[in-house]
Structure formats: C-alpha cells, structure tokens
Amino acid sequence: MQIVDRKRVGDVTVWAIDGGLDATTHDEFLVEMQKILEAGEKKVVLDCSRLTYISSLSLGTFVRVHNRFKKAGAGLKFAKLHGNVADIIHFARLDDIFDLYPSLDEAVRAFVGQKTP
C-alpha cells in the first residue's frame, strides 16, 4: 500500500491509495495520513480506485484516521470505492460515518461552500 498521486483541486488535496490495506500496511497508512494532517491540509479526498483490498483491522484504521481529521477540524472524504472494498465498507455500516462519493469530482465538489468540520 502506498499513498500516491497528490494533486490539488483548488483548496482540496486528492491522494490516491494504491494497493491493499491490511495488518502489514495499516501502520504505514496511519503515519502517512498523520503527515498529511500535520502538513495543514484541511480538505482531503482519498481516491480509493486503486485500493485493492481492506482487512477488518484496516476498517478500524479508516475510523481512526477519520476521527483524527474530524478532531483537527479537517475534512476527509472517500471517493471511488469499488468491488469488495465497497462491499466491506457498506457491510460494516461505515457508509453511515464516512463521506463516500462515487467520483473524485463529486467528492471535491462536496467541499465547495462547506466549512471544514
């Protein structure tokens, strides 16, 4: 798992997750997301189109990251979840907690006119 392809769209930063997220990669994901938060990025979209796998442990990691962003007054949105990854998120009912969008454009637009939490 790597966090790659940083791009700016106005004041929103889009990061892509590439690979799987499991027991061997969740610590790296937490560290990378903390760096993003500490860099002062307040509006972040995670492009999950290349996220190939997510373990049950990593579901908790997603929740931790989401809570860290919220506590810091930053916004975090997830875009382009697909296949088994989307199924697991929905089965775990995390779609009630996370801001999920079918496309990057929709996730970025969701920040327009919205103050960060």
**What tens digit of pLDDT does each residue of 16-65 get?**
999 999 999 989 999 999 999 999 999 999 999 999 999 988 899 999 99
Cβ-Cβ contacts under 8 Å for 58 (sequence gap 6 or more): 21, 22, 23, 25, 26, 29
Tokens at 24, concatenated: 């061997």
Tokens at 12, concatenated: 């929103």
**What tens digit of pLDDT does each residue of 61-115 get?**
999 999 999 999 999 999 999 999 999 999 999 999 999 999 999 999 999 866 5
Question: pTM higher than 0.85 for the full model?
Answer: yes
Tokens at 58, concatenated: 């990593």
Per CATH, which fold does 2-108 belong to?
Transcription Regulator spoIIAA (3.30.750)
- Residue spans per domain, the chain: 2-108
Task: State the pLDDT at residue 2.
Answer: 80
56 sits in which H/E element: helix 56-71
CA distance 76 to 24: 23
CA distance 103 to 100: 9
